[in-house]
Amino acid sequence: MTIYTKTGDKGNTSLFDGVRVPKNHIRVESYGTIDELGTVLGLAKHFVEDEEIRKIVEDIQNKLFTVATNLATENPDKVKHHIVEEDIDYLEKIVDKYMGLLDNPTGFIVPGSNVKSAYLHLARTVCRRAERRIISLSTQANVDPLVVKYVNRLSDTLYALARFMEDTQVNVKY
C-alpha cells in the first residue's frame, strides 16, 4: 500500500468530507496545528512518570482526533463525533485538581525546570496557536463553539499539568 496519492502535488488537499482546498487554507492550518499538538503531547508523555497524568495526556490525544475531524470537515452533517460539555467538564476538573495541589500560585513562572514540564509547556503554546487558528477559521466558516471552548480549556489544562510538574515553583512578579 502506498501512502502518496499525488493529488496534493499542486498545492491542494482534500478535507474529511472530500472538499478540495489549498494546503495553506485556514481550515488546514487549524486541524494541522491540532495534529501538531497531538504529536507534541505524544513526546511529552514519554517523560511523564506519573501514571495519572500519562493517562490524562493519552485521553487528550484521543479527543484531539474529534477536534481535528470537526475542523477538517466543512459539512457538519458528515461529522460523526463531537465535543460535548462533558469533555470540557473533564478538563476543568483536571485544572481544579492540579492547580489546587499547587497551593494557589500567583505570578508568572519561567517554564521548564525539567524536561517533562518543558514539553507540557510546549504543548500549551502549540494549543494556544491552534486556538488562534481556529478563531481565524471561525471568522470565515461555522466552527462548533464547543470545539473553541474545548481548545481554550485545554490550554489551561496543559498549563496546570506543566506547572504541577515543575521542580520549582518560583513565581516571577512584575
Q: What is the pTM of this model?
A: 0.90
Q: Residue 114 carries which DSSP code?
A: S
- What pLDDT, on the 0 to 100 scale, is given for residue 174? 46
Domains along the chain?
A: 12-165 (1.20.1200.10)
Residues 6+ apart with CB under 8 A from 2: none
Burial (0-12, 13-18, 19+ Cβ within 10 Å), 101: exposed
Bridge partners for 169 per DSSP: none
User: If you search the block for the grid coordinates 487554507, which residue do you land on?
Assistant: 25
6, HSE (Cβ side, Cα atoms, 13 Å)? 1
* Regions in the chain scoring below 70 on pLDDT: 7-9, 15, 21-22, 104, 167-174
**142: number of Cβ within 10 Å:** 9
Cell numbers placing 6: 499525488
- What pLDDT, on the 0 to 100 scale, is given for residue 133? 97
- Of 98, 89, 107, 120, the C-alpha closest to 170 is 107
- What pLDDT, on the 0 to 100 scale, is given for residue 152? 98
The helix or strand, by DSSP H or E, that contains position 137, with its residue range, turns out to be: helix 115-138
